[in-house]
Amino acid sequence: MINFEGFDDRTFYSTFQKEEDCLEYLSTLKWSDHYKCRKCEHTKYMKGKKLHSRRCQKCKYDESVTAHTLFHKLKFSILTAFEFIFKVSCDKKGMSTLTLSEKLSLSYQSCLNFRRKVQYAMQSSLQHPLKGYVEVDEFAVGGYDAGSQGRAKGDKKLV
Domain count, the chain: 2
Tell me, yes or no, whether 5 lies in a domain: no
Is residue 83 located within the same domain as residue 101?
yes
Q: What is the pLDDT of residues 10-28, one digit of tens each?
A: 888 999 999 999 999 999 8
Q: How far apart are CA 151 and CA 47, in angstroms?
A: 52
Sheet with 45-47: list strands edge to edge.
45-47, 54-56, 62-63
Please report the pLDDT score of residue 155 as a whole number: 62
Q: How far apart are CA 54 and CA 103, in angstroms?
A: 34
Please report the pLDDT score of residue 144 as a whole number: 63
Q: What is the pLDDT of residues 78-120, one digit of tens each?
A: 999 999 988 888 777 778 899 999 999 999 999 999 999 988 8
Please report the pLDDT score of residue 137 as a whole number: 74
CA angle 148, 150, 154 (to 5 degrees): 50
Tell me, yes or no, whether 119 lies in a domain: yes
Tell me, yes or no, whether 56 lies in a domain: yes
Please report the pLDDT score of residue 131 as a whole number: 82
Is residue 79 located within the same domain as residue 99?
yes
Please say if the pLDDT value at position 76 is more than 90: yes
DSSP 121: H
CB of 57 closer than 8 Å to CB of 46:
yes
Please report the pLDDT score of residue 5 as a whole number: 63
Is residue 47 located within the same domain as residue 81?
no
Q: What is the pLDDT of residues 126-141, one digit of tens each?
A: 777 778 887 877 766 7
Is residue 53 located within the same domain as residue 82?
no
Mean pLDDT for the chain?
84
Is residue 42 located within the same domain as residue 61?
yes
Domain of 79?
73-123
Read off the pTM.
0.73
Tell me, yes or no, whether 33 lies in a domain: yes
Q: How far apart are CA 131 and CA 113, in angstroms?
A: 31
Is residue 28 located within the same domain as residue 56?
yes
Tell me, yes or no, whether 143 lies in a domain: no
CA angle 138, 125, 153 (to 5 degrees): 30
DSSP 150: S
- Pick 8 or 77 by higher pLDDT: 77
Tell me, yes or no, whether 47 lies in a domain: yes
Is residue 78 located within the same domain as residue 117?
yes
Tell me how far apart the 2 most distant CA atoms of the chain are, in Å. Answer: 61
Tell me, yes or no, whether 53 lies in a domain: yes
Is residue 81 located within the same domain as residue 65?
no
